[in-house]
Amino acid sequence: MAATKVRMDPSFLSDAEYEAERIKSLRKYNILDTPPDGSFDHITKIAARLLNVPIAIVSLVDTNRIWFKSSTGITIQQIDRTPGLCASAILSDEIYIVENALQDPRTLANPLVAGEFGLRFYAAVPLKIRDGFNLGTLCVIDRNPRQLNADEKEILQQLAEILIDQLELRLEARNSSDRQHQLLGMVAHELKNPLTIIPVYADLIKEQAEGKEHIGQMCNHIKKASDRMSILIREVLEVARLQTNEIILTKTYFDIATIIGRVATLNLVLANAKKQKLYIDIVDNITVYADETKLSEIADNLINNAIKYSPPGAEIHLRLTASHEKAIFEVIDEGPGLTDEDKQGLFKPYTKLSARPTAGENSTGVGLSIVKLLVEAHGGLVWAENNAGKKGAVFTVGIPVLNEQVLTAPPSLSADLNTAG
């Protein structure tokens, strides 16, 4: 029998329990500290215009702050929770109105009223989600006392309902995406085990068919196909895992140049097979506080791609510099470069480039999406552009140097990995 999910009734909770559950619901919507969103910005602009007020805000009340998802007429992004009127407004399910803050006992001592900000009028509608908790408000503010008539109150309430719909749609879209990735991961996992058996059977058949060259060739094709499928499934599982679970970073202090050198050396066999040359240029020695394994995976993906898409005999340059408290790692290849269409879908899962591997290597279309997820988990950025005035593309990763220890080396240190050692 399927389990029935019983929704909690907030009215039966103590104040402390209610607040704990409210914060839990707020976290579930994954909206705090997200970038600006046009759909929310439109609402604050409409509210300010229709109600003829200078300031309109979509606020979310966190544990110790009030964060503004959208605002019109004010530039700050958050305030402390203690003096915030929104923290009071979410305690009620009705519209919360202060017509003249200098005469209202609820707001006389509020620093936003007594201080230079000079707040006089405040009206807010709580944003009550379907779980029954008030996450924040849609509020309008004026520096002059005023009143709202019945039509204006209805406008504010209807705009708040639109905002609530936006929050619910965002949550449902994210949950739907998570379910898709979970299903994809489950299917890939189920395919993984039988695929490991196929190469074994191919070898057995090949042994039984000694002297029959055509059967041996067919077995080789079977093994190559199963190898390609195994790689794809492994990467599908990795994307599904990264996108449905929080990426856990095990951070330590280390010299990022050491990692890049190690990964480049491991890829040297692939480069030598295509008579390519790998060069590493360490301009700055940089100590980072990051996950060594995951940064190794980022570097390996980018270097491997450069080898894969560059022609035989090409030169591939790896460059490490420091800029604005970031470690900047560049991989410069001599492939065909990127088309406009490539750039649009470059770091999305299962997107293949217009270019093809130059020696028949396998390409699954998920490696760059894994790079993006791992880089962003470190608070960094990854981007790509064509190598100006030259053939090929430049893939760049910027990782924050969180400990701010950027050690500049003496003159540029360069190495030709093909002859080193």
* pTM score of the predicted model: 0.48
Looking at the predicted structure, is the pLDDT value of residue 286 above 80?
Answer: yes
Confidence band of 302 (pLDDT split at 50, 70, 90)? very high
Distance CA 307, CA 397 (A): 17
The pLDDT assigned to 8 comes to 54
The pLDDT assigned to 306 comes to 92
What residues have CB less than 8 Å from 301, skipping those under 6 apart?
367, 368, 370, 371
Domains and CATH numbers, the chain: 10-148 (3.30.450.40), 174-244 (1.10.287), 251-416 (3.30.565.10)
The pLDDT assigned to 411 comes to 36
Looking at the predicted structure, is the pLDDT value of residue 334 above 80?
Answer: yes
**Main-chain phi, psi angles of 231, to 5 degrees:** -60, -45
Residue 122: alpha-carbon gap to chain centroid:
36
Work out whether strand 393-400 and strand 326-332 pair parallel, antiparallel, or are unpaired.
antiparallel
Average pLDDT over residues 49-68: 93
Is the Cα torsion angle 356, 360, 361, 362 positive or negative in sign?
A: positive
Side-chain half-sphere CA neighbours of 158 within 13 A: 10
pLDDT digits (tens, 9 = 90+) for 157-203: 999 999 998 888 888 777 666 666 565 655 555 565 556 666 666 67
Which position has the higher pLDDT, 194 or 327?
Answer: 327
Which position has the higher pLDDT, 418 or 128?
Answer: 128
Average pLDDT over residues 63-90: 88
The pLDDT assigned to 246 comes to 63
Which position has the higher pLDDT, 12 or 66?
Answer: 66
| Residue 263: Cβ-neighbour burial (10 angstroms; 0-12, 13-18, 19+) | buried
List the structure tokens of 220.
């080789």
Average pLDDT of every residue of the chain: 81
Average pLDDT over residues 294-303: 91
Which position has the higher pLDDT, 365 or 356?
Answer: 356
Among 112, 93, 39, 32, residue whose Cα is nearest residue 65? 32
Average pLDDT over residues 223-243: 62
Place of tokens 């088309």: 339
The pLDDT assigned to 406 comes to 41
Looking at the predicted structure, is the pLDDT value of residue 354 above 90?
Answer: no
The pLDDT assigned to 283 comes to 79
Q: ∠ CA(106), CA(109), CA(114), 5° rounding?
A: 120
The pLDDT assigned to 7 comes to 47
Confidence band of 67 (pLDDT split at 50, 70, 90)? very high
pLDDT digits (tens, 9 = 90+) for 83-136: 678 888 898 889 999 999 988 888 877 888 878 888 999 999 999 988 889 999
